[in-house]
Structures are given as structure tokens and as C-alpha cells.
Amino acid sequence: MSSGTDLINAFHFPHCVISIRNWEDAHLPLSQSRIAFDLFMLIGHSAHDEQPLTLKQLFNSLKYSERGIRYVLDQFIDGGWCEVVGQTEDRRFRLIVATQRLTDKLREYEELVLAKYSAALIRQS
């Protein structure tokens, strides 16, 4: 490859990242911090594994304050991205369950990311 081609390919990757971030901003439940994105991925991962997380597991899995996570989780619940199910007597055993909305959007996001990065790899070849 010539240095001119290398330069063009070097600029394609940032374009892919910017394109993906723009899609995230338009389609995912995001906030000013990365809490919402990390929560989206964590709930999506637990749904993929068919292992819903307890509230305690969720709080312990993210590196943010419980208050911050709770705030974003409430927004997710209100927005129809996930549900809290389980016992009402012992609140420690309530599970966070992804809704169809979240799993559908996660699949759509996966397709977008794979397509963008595949295109970038093809351009490098």
C-alpha cells in the first residue's frame, strides 16, 4: 500500500467510530455520563446469557455510585427498556429483566457496529 492509501485508511476508523456514536446518541438510552451505556450493555449481556441480575449484582457490576445507577435505572424502567421482577416481600431478590425493546435495540446496534467495522477492515485490505 502507498502512504496515501494508508492515510485514507487511517481516517476511516475514526469516521466509523463517529458514525456509531451518532447512531448511539439517536437510538440508545444515554445520559451525560457513561452509566446509561454501561447499564444498557450489562442488562443486554444478562439477557443474552438468560441470567437476569439482582439489584445487588447490578450495583456491584458497575463502577458508579449506587445513587447514579439507581437514577439511570429508574429512567430505563420508565422508558420501557427493562423491568424489575420478583418478590415484593424481600426486595433483595428482585431481578432486572431486559424488555423486548432493549434486546431488539441491542441486536440492531450489534448489526450496525459489525457492518461499520467490517467495512473499515475491507477498506484496509
Domains of the chain, each with CATH number or no CATH? 3-124 (1.10.10.10)
- Pick from 42, 60, 37: nearest CA to 52: 42
Give the model's pLDDT for residue 47. Answer: 95
Give the model's pLDDT for residue 1. Answer: 45
Sign for the pseudo-dihedral over CA of 43, 16, 20, 108: negative
Give yes or no for a contact between 82 and 1, defined as CB atoms under 8 angstroms apart: no
- pLDDT at residue 58 above 80? yes
Give yes or no for a contact between 125 and 1, defined as CB atoms under 8 angstroms apart: no
Q: Which SS3 state, helix, strand or coil, does residue 83 take? A: strand
Predicted model pTM? 0.80
How many of the other CB atoms lie within 10 Å of CB of 35?
Answer: 20
Give the model's pLDDT for residue 92. Answer: 66
Contacts of 76 (CB under 8 A, 6+ apart): 29, 36, 39, 40, 43, 82, 102
